[in-house]
A and B are shown apart, each in its own frame.
Chain A
Amino acid sequence: AQSVAQPEDQVNVAEGNPLTVKCTYSVSGNPYLFWYVQYPNRGLQFLLKYITGDNLVKGSYGFEAEFNKSQTSFHLKKPSALVSDSALYFCALLTGRRALTFGSGTRLQVQP
């Protein structure tokens, strides 16, 4: 079965420090992976995607993600966190139905 796991319910980081939000996946075949962000009372916004090619994917708002096939991971990273990055982050996997299977979400809290 295809699935996505986000092992941390919450990540806390100080402003200016690097941040990592973890995601692992399980799929037969090639994975197509996405990161989305959700701000309070808003819909989801697309951040970045991995389809094929370079293992380091750059996205919106200074975020990037590292695809690691041997570890079946797709961790979201940012070199220097901002307070405004505080939000709920979702990792997602494209399924055979052309819909997305989401992880349970990780709440990122950036402290000033």
Chain B
Amino acid sequence: DAGITQSPRHKVTETGTPVTLRCHQTENHRYMYWYRQDPGHGLRLIHYSYGVKDTDKGEVSDGYSVSRSKTEDFLLTLESATSSQTSVYFCAISESGTTDNEQFFGPGTRLTVL
């Protein structure tokens, strides 16, 4: 497996609280991504980063923010968690973001918002 870890692996929180998920890589890859996985939807892109301090929105970015202050870390923050954000969150990395480079995925974080 590629050197990608996610923390925490499981979290239960209450509606309205802020939550931060962390993705850490040891591969020194430039591109990092956050996806959420929901039944019937596959994986959907939340945000991605193409370098330190360079980020952009994906298709389901409302209610989420990200930060990347170091190459190895990509943080996803739910500013005020809602029940609709209950999901499994996956981080992915890619060396260059070109068509030749597949993405490698972390083990996922299961988030439950009560």
Contacts and interface: CB of A to CB of B under 8 A. Distances in A.
A44 B90 contact: yes
B64 interface: no
Interface stretch (B11-19, B69-77, B105-113): B105-113
Interface string A10-34: 0000000000000000000000101
B105 A99 contact: no
Contacts of A32: 99
Contacts of A51: 99-100
B58 A99 contact: yes
Q: Which 9 residue pairs of A and B lie closest in terms of their CB atoms, listed nearest first? A: A102-B42, A98-B97, A43-B105, A44-B105, A102-B43, A32-B99, A46-B102, A99-B45, A104-B42
Given A32-B99, A97-B56, A99-B45, 12 more contacts: A41-B108, A43-B1, A43-B106, A44-B43, A46-B103, A90-B42, A94-B99, A97-B45, A100-B43, A102-B35, A102-B44, A104-B40
A103 B42 contact: yes
A42 B103 CA distance: 15
Contacts of B35: 102
Give the interface SS of chain B, mostly helix, strand, loop or mixed: strand
Interface string B81-100: 00000000010101001111
Interface in A63-112: 90, 94, 97-105
B5 to A, nearest CB: 11
A44 B90 CA distance: 9
B59 to A, nearest CB: 8
B100 A99 contact: no
A43 B99 contact: no
Nearest to A34: B102
B98 A98 contact: yes
Contacts of A43: 1, 4, 90, 105-108
6 contacts: A42-B107, A43-B4, A45-B105, A100-B92, A101-B45, A104-B42
